[in-house]
């Protein structure tokens, strides 16, 4: 869409903002993927606990791993 707007010749501002929006979306997507990667094991442990397929030990282990993975790391 940004390229199409730019080709119009009179919508450069809208083309530029469209490109900026795409950059922001890609940054957000990368940050979300990092956080999902850190949290997914813990979420699965909670699901196993709630479905009686796992116990508190699994949640505690997943939480310890999550905390170790995030220790001293500012959020992306």
| pLDDT tens digits, one per residue of 15-68 | 999 999 999 999 999 999 999 999 999 999 999 999 999 999 999 999 999 999
Rounded to an integer, what distance in angstroms lies between the CA atom of residue 36 and that of residue 69? 12
Determine the pLDDT at residue 76: 57
CA-CA-CA-CA dihedral for 57, 63, 69, 71, to nearest 10: -120
CA–CA dist 7, 4 (Å, integer): 5
pLDDT of residue 72: 77
Model pTM score:
0.74
* Contact (Cβ atoms closer than 8 angstroms) between residue 12 and residue 6: yes
Tell me the two tokens of residue 43.
């979420």
């Amino acid at each position: 869409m940004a390229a199409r707007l730019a080709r119009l010749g009179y919508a450069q501002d809208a083309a530029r903002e469209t490109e900026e929006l795409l950059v922001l979306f890609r940054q957000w997507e990368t940050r979300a993927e990092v956080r999902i990667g850190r949290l997914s094991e813990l979420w699965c442990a909670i699901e196993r606990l709630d479905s009686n397929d796992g116990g508190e030990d699994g949640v505690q282990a997943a939480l310890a791993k999550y905390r170790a993975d995030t220790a001293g790391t500012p959020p992306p």
